[in-house]
Chains A and B, each alone.
Chain A
Amino acid sequence: MKSEIILLGHGSGGKLSHELLDDLIVPILSGTEPRDQNDAAILARQQGRLAFTTDSYVVDPIFFPDGSIGSLAIYGTINDLAMTGAMPIAISVGLILEEGLAVNTLRTILEDMSAAAQKVGVRIMTGDTKVVPRNKADRIFVNTSGIGILLHDLEISGSNAQIGDKVLINGTIGDHGMAVMAHREGLALTSDITSDCAPLNSLVEELISGVGCRLHALRDPTRGGIATTLKEIAMQSEVEITLQENSLPVNPAVAGACAILGLDPLFVANEGKLLAFVAPDAAEQALAIMRKHEFGKASAVIGEVTSPNKGKVRLQTAIGGLRAIEMLAGEQLPRIC
């Protein structure tokens, strides 16, 4: 690449576009030789049901402790696939770049994407790049879509939570939202908070092979935090969920930052967490599987499905009080993913 910054011409489809693709994007993301490049990628015939998802990423800042918009865009879409029990087989990357973005910044983001895809073992099969004039976008926006294959016949769905199910989480809540917030606002008090941004596909794979049909529902509590996700599942499954505040894993630094800023960690975003609803007789086994996994060391049982009281989520507070949990209303923190 001759230019050190992205120019409008890099999105024109002409010579500069080819230079950007050939010198930077393709070598880092896919390595596909020019003679194999076509308008669409061809996937091999698959045995089994397919899952398909898409998500766009506009996080500010684009680099944050333990992650960037690049790793987030890959893991976020992988995790959406994983929550249906699907293993990723292909991913696409759409980039919207703001004129003037430093090429080195783009390179770092692409390298993060590539490393994330390699960690998961998924190929970036197709993509697109557009450039918009200065001030028409904020440096870089990313869209990723993913296709996954379901290697099981289970019905893992937000509408499948059943009375008696235990609710498990694979670690501390609110880390991503607070890491982004702290980094964006330069809050010195939160130096030891890092994003939990991580791929959850292998954890899900192990859960499925361990507890099988006793795994009823999975969801990753991203924007809106675990409160919003649990409320969604309570409504979809028409049940009541009761959480135990004492069992909720919260990093003390996150709890402290939340207390100071007046935020509730239940509503703060996660990017490497899943909520699993499992039959009571499988809870212990599921917990053991999760705790053994790289991304589940601090897993805990945080509550259970208590009654057919449609769509209610309640929290038994640490001091023994009971309160309702509602969905996040408005935005607690803007542009966290």
Chain B
Amino acid sequence: MRHQNEYRDPELACAQLQAIREAGKGLDRAVTLMEVCGTHTMSVYQHGIRSLLPEQVRLVSGPGCPVCVTPVDYVDHAVALARREATIIATFGDMVRVPGSSSSLLHEQARGATIKIVYSALDAVTLAEDNPASTVVFLGVGFETTAPTIAGAILTAANKNLHNFFVLCAHKTMPAPMAALAGDPDLQVDGYLCPAHVSAIIGAKAYQPLVDRFRVPCVITGFEPLDILQGVLMLVKQVVAGEARVENQYRRVVKAEGNQKARAILCRVFESCDARWRGIGNIPGSGLRLRDTYTRFDAARALPVEIEPVVEHPGCLCGEILKGKLRPADCPLFRTTCTPEEPVGACMVSSEGACAAEYKYGGQGLGAGC
């Protein structure tokens, strides 16, 4: 990957940190900045960014990991579908280990179900073509970054007149949950590091209503360490100045209007709907469902199955962690009952989950400097 090192330059990072410290002197209290993107979560941990920030700048992880925000009953639904005769479940890898109420796709695979990990929804279409005697169900989980590719896969399946390809939809959209959290009186978010690739699709303008309504600063931020440091600096400056604006740190990728072609294909296949977010609950207009023309691809409608009643581990605090109210180490199950080998909650399963990141990379209290 070209240019990766430029965005990890130690001298530039040091200069950014000095600037953050300098700007932070203008703060009269500690501020909470939330990133809402699983890749940000990973990058913050992987590069030890928390250990470098001044004390009064607190970074928390919000509901930005698509697997983590998927409710348990969705996993139960996928498990029930996996138990059908001659059915192939095609999914991105992270979903396989997410625990449902009594099973997971990994357990179903061990019991004989056919679960195929794919890297693109189009691979699932190919799988359906290659296995005409089987029913292929693709698990459609993800934000606006993955949804257009799944829309593309559905259009491809329609063109090929496939009758054995289905999608179990649980797509979510931004920035609705950011508004839900901005309005939460228990949680004071002083600024958002807005997701990078989601913003590439929805465009920088999509955050303006959020800023107008809640007066919360929003900075669209890239994934590399220098991106994140610069995003933090831009947010701190806004907070100090008492401003609330949409700023775009990730200009090399994100445009004000977003990717109109991707949005058009998304819009052709999907329409907005209410969606339930794990730990947050129902958020109006935060999900995507198939438009009437394409409901024949909807696994939930076309393939009726009996789904077990939802049982969640009573001690699991994924919800509070997804809202940024608690840190992974605050959960009594963390590292004890809940580990990546035996995850209880989704935040421990997904490689982009806050608990998995904290487990893998440790807390950030190591102390460092430049």
By a beta-carbon cutoff of 8 Å, the part of chain A in contact with chain B is 185, 187, 246, 252, 255-256, 259-260, 262, 264, 314-326, 329-330
Query: How far does the alpha carbon of A325 sit from the alpha carbon of B9 in the complex, in Å?
Result: 21
CB of B344 to closest CB in A, whole Å: 14
Contact of A324 among B13, B52, B352, B362 (CB under 8 A): B362
Q: How far is the CB of B332 from chain A (nearest CB, A)?
A: 19
Asked if residues A326 and B360 are in contact (CB atoms below 8 Å), the reply is: yes
CA A246 to CA B17, docked complex, whole Å: 19
Asked if residues B361 and A324 are in contact (CB atoms below 8 Å), the reply is yes
B361 and A326: CB pair below 8 A?
Answer: yes
Extra contacts besides A317-B46, A319-B48 (11): CB < 8 Å: A264-B46, A316-B368, A318-B8, A318-B10, A318-B13, A320-B17, A321-B49, A323-B45, A323-B48, A323-B361, A330-B340
| A264 contact set on B, CB distance < 8 A | 46
Chain B residues with CB below 8 A from A325, complex form? 361-362
Given contacts A255-B4, A264-B46, contact A320 B10 (CB under 8 A): yes
Residue of A whose beta carbon sits closest to that of B47 = A317
The reply to whether B340 and A319 form a contact with Cβ atoms under 8 Å apart is no
A314 to chain B: which residues have CB within 8 Å?
A: 362, 366
Contacts of A246 in B (CB 8 A): 10
* B339 proximal to A (CB < 8 A): yes
A315–B10 CA distance with the chains assembled, in angstroms:
14
Whether the Cβ atoms of A324 and B351 lie closer than 8 Å is no
Q: Give chain A residues whose Cβ lies under 8 Å from the Cβ of B366.
A: 314, 322-324
Set of chain A residues within 8 Å of B9, measured between Cβ atoms: 318-319
- Report the bound CA distance from A246 to B340 in whole Å: 28
Q: Which of chain B's residues have a CB closer than 8 A to the CB of A320?
A: 10, 13-14, 17, 48, 52, 368-370
Asked whether A319 lies within 8 Å of B367 as measured between CB atoms, the reply is no
Alpha-carbon distance between A133 and B369 when the two chains are bound, in angstroms: 61
Binding site for A on B (CB under 8 A): 1-2, 4-5, 8-10, 13-14, 17, 39, 42, 45-52, 97, 119, 225-226, 229, 339-341, 351-352, 356, 359-364, 366-370
Q: How far does the Cβ of A132 sit from chain B's closest Cβ, in whole Å? A: 19
Q: Measured between alpha carbons, how far is A260 from B39 in the docked complex, in Å?
A: 11
Smallest CB separation, A39 vs chain B (Å): 38
* Most chain A CB neighbours (cut-off 10 Å) among B45, B361, B367: B361
Rounded to whole angstroms, the CA-CA distance of A323 and B42 in the bound complex is 12
Q: Among B2, B8, B42, B362, point to the contact of A326 (Cβ < 8 A).
A: B362
A330 touches B1 (CB 8 A): no
CA gap between A45 and B17 in the complex, in Å: 65
Complex A-B: 17 CB contacts under 8 Å = A252-B1, A259-B4, A262-B352, A264-B46, A314-B366, A317-B225, A318-B8, A319-B49, A320-B368, A320-B370, A321-B49, A323-B47, A323-B48, A329-B341, A329-B356, A330-B97, A330-B341
CB closest chain-B residue, reference A187: B119
Instruction: Report yes or no: A322 in contact with B51, Cβ–Cβ below 8 A.
Output: yes
- A267 and chain B: residue at smallest CB distance: B360
Give, as a whole number of angstroms, the nearest-CB distance from A247 to chain B.
Answer: 12
Tell me the bound Cα distance from A215 to B263 in angstroms: 60
Could you say which residues of chain A place their CB within 8 Å of the CB of B1? 252, 255-256, 259-260
Contacts of B52 in A (CB 8 A): 319-321
Residue of A nearest to B362 (CB): A324
A85 vs B292: C-alpha distance when bound (angstroms): 68
Interface centre among A185, A260, A323, A325 (most CB of B within 10 A): A323
- B46 contact set on A, CB distance < 8 A: 264, 317, 323
Q: Residue A317 contacts which of B48, B97, B351, B362 (CB distance < 8 angstroms)?
A: B48
Bound form: Cα–Cα A278–B89 in Å: 50
Q: For residue B52, give the distance in angstroms from its CB to the closest CB of chain A.
A: 5
A315 and B48 alpha carbons, distance in the complex (Å): 9
- Chain B residues lying within 8 Å of A252, measured Cβ to Cβ, are 1, 4
**Which residue, B52, B363, B367, has most C-beta atoms of chain A within 10 A?**
B52
Q: Identify which of B8, B339, B351 contacts A319 (C-beta below 8 A).
A: B8
Neighbouring B residues of A330 by C-beta, 8 Å: 97, 340-341
**Using Cβ atoms and an 8 Å threshold, which residues of chain A touch B14?**
319-320
Candidates A187, A256, A323; contact of B362 at CB < 8 Å:
A323
Shortest CB-to-CB span from A14 to chain B, Å, is 34
The residue on B at minimum CB distance from A227 is B360
Nearest B residue (CB) for A326: B360
User: What are the 3 A-B residue pairs with the smallest beta carbon separation, nearest first?
Assistant: A321-B48, A324-B362, A256-B1
Alpha-carbon distance between A325 and B359 when the two chains are bound, in angstroms: 9
CA–CA, A260 to B14, complex, Å?
Answer: 26
**A319, B10: Cβ atoms closer than 8 Å:** yes
Is there an interface contact between A185 and B119, defined as CB atoms closer than 8 Å?
yes
Task: Tell me the minimal C-beta distance from B58 to chain A in angstroms.
Answer: 16
Q: Which of B2, B5, B51 contacts A323 (CB 8 A)?
A: B51
Q: Are A329 and B340 in contact (CB under 8 A)?
A: yes
Residues of A within 8 A of B367 (CB): 322
Cα separation A89 to B254 with both chains bound (whole Å): 60
